[in-house]
Amino acid sequence: MKTDKSKNNKECKKYGMAITNYVLGEKIDVPEDELLNHLRTCKQCRDEIVNWQDFNAVLSTDQYHSRPEVIEKWNRFIKAMTNQPERHVDVKPGENVILDDDKDIGKSAGMIWNMLGKYGKTPVIQLPFKAGLTFDIAYGAMGWLLREKKAQRIKDENGIYVDLTKTERHIYEAQNGNRG
């Protein structure tokens, strides 16, 4: 860890490599539940995992982040950090269940719209974490915002981002004051 201000500095050192490996999708040397419990109570280590995620997002590809096991891992992380109840739907083999996500998607689209208005261009891979949403809901909401031309995807040499369109930016600023 970078600072000695944390009263948990010794404990934080225990989780340093686990944080790195967690972000990289490698095996971690402590039980995942133990790491997530520590992250719930330690802002310094939460900041560290976000920093590693930022770094990894620049280096990694969309292929890595679309792997089911990676999505599942990050959904567990987001749920643990936001205390979201786990949504469980029983599905029998050969059966399809249609989820009624319209309410969740609409509400989440509003949350993301406000977050983008406040903070601006955000890496797509960080959207669920920054919004405190699961991957499926966050990306569903982002898809709705893109389809309605309220948001846009931007790609540069550092990655893929999402931001409000110019029109939506003006609407946000008119409603909330210029973000300066």
Map out the domains of the chain as residue ranges.
9-82, 102-176
Q: What is the distance between the alpha carbons of residues 135 and 143, in angstroms, rounded to a whole number?
A: 12
Instruction: Please indicate, yes or no, whether the overall pTM of this predicted structure exceeds 0.75.
Output: no
**Single-letter code of the amino acid located at 2:** K
pLDDT averaged over the chain? Answer: 77
37-41, 77-81, 97-101, 136-140, range with the lowest pLDDT:
97-101
Report the percentage of the chain scoring pLDDT > 90.
Answer: 21
Residue 115 confidence (pLDDT): 92
Q: 34, 18 in Cβ contact below 8 A?
A: no
Residue 16 has pLDDT above 70, yes or no: yes
Dist. CA 155–CA 140, nearest whole Å: 19
Residue 102, pLDDT score: 58
Dist CA 72 CA 78 (whole Å): 10
- How far is C-alpha 58 from the geometric centre of its chain's CA atoms? 15
Per-residue model confidence (pLDDT) at position 2 = 41
Class of domain 102-176: mainly alpha
